[in-house]
Structure 1
Amino acid sequence: MEEVQLRAAHGGVAERRVGYGQECESWQVRSGFVEDLDALDRVLWLPYYDVNGVEHVVQLAGIDSQGHRTREVYDWCIRNRGRTLPINGERRLKQPYTLANIEYYPGTNSKIPGGQRLLHVHTKYYKDALHRKLSIAPADPGAWHMNAECTAEWAKQLCAEYVDDLGNWTCPKGRDNHAWDVSVYGFCLADFLGLRYQTPELYETEPGDPMSTEPRQERPRRRW
């Protein structure tokens, strides 16, 4: 049985993960690269079916809002209000994350219709945490599992950054680190959702019990 219940997804370069528990063990469901936010919409909200045929959907998506398309990102979050959050990464925060209410589009006097919540993420805190996660063997509790379709490029980007002499995470010039950033933000989203306190209530059997031998409908895998 897959020990999964809820999921957090994070956009731009996108990845979907499922997981729960005190060890924050998680499993990669899908990952990939998309050209724009319209394409992201077409893949991010597709349902996911677990080994028992139970349908799951993305509970919360986060997307980096600090690039050159900030207004477009905010408009996308407004269109998907209630299931998305724009994210700002911060090297220094007094706590792992904070939530702010934003009234205006950043850098403008233009009001955001209905306002917008912005998630500030302590990137050093979560990068340190993710580094520890990636050091856990797949068979041990708390591992950060990748699926069989995870590409070498995705794995390479997870190793893009290093800790400099000042203790800060640094990305060498010209090296892509999108998968690393997405995973860092996803780790924070899992904390924001309180997934470490979730239990597998969707299933009648306990984790580790034998899977049902009843036949189930086979579903084709969706790719990016």
Structure 2
Amino acid sequence: MGKPLSFVFLFLLRCCFMSSLAWPEKNITTDQYALLALKSSITSDPYDFLAKCSPSSSPCTWVGVACNTRHGRVHSLNLNGMGLKGTISPQLGNLSFVVELDLGDNNLYGQIPKELVRLGRLKLLNLSYNDFHGEVRWIGYLSSLEQLHLQNNSFNGFIPLSLLNLSRLETLDWNFNFLEGTIPSEVGGLQRLKTLRLASNKLSGAILRTISNLSSLELLNLSYNALSGMFR
């Protein structure tokens, strides 16, 4: 009876091993499709930075892409300053292992797809110096965020109350947009915040005294709004 049991055990072990080998390949294919979808939503790539992005090559070799050696998944996507024009594909939300997403300083436009809320490992999100518009109420559910750069766009609406969920946030830069309403008291709960920039918006109301409780704050810019009051 020992031999059949040993055979079954070895068979199951081999199956598990083969499955573990196949899994990363399947996952990197998911990342590949997500990046190809992003490429298809780009209408202008003046310097051909995305020319190498094709189904026949690994996304880990593409310009601006870095992969995690442990998981074999896309870890970072940095397309900053590449002169790209177009929109963000919702499929970008399938990059479930990405930690850094930097699309700053391009000519991207439109609304940010809410599917990005699935990027639960994201620590850095830079969408600055584009022409994105609309609201991003879901931004507070990216609970791992440490750096959030949304400056110099056309975002409107109110600062979302969900910001309170960003307990690790160190930088919040939302300068030069069209935000309106008041600064929510939830901002005062971001105890790791070092940089808070909300200048050149349409914010109004009293400057919150709770901001003075941000003991880690090093840089604060609320200028060119319709705010009133003082804090110490």
TM-score exceeds 0.5: no
Structure with more contact order per residue of length (Cα contacts < 8 Å, sep ≥ 6): 1
* Rg comparison, structure with higher value: 2
TM-score range, shorter chain: under 0.3
TM-score, with normalisation over the residues of structure 1? Answer: 0.20
Of Structure 1 and Structure 2, the greater helix share is in 2
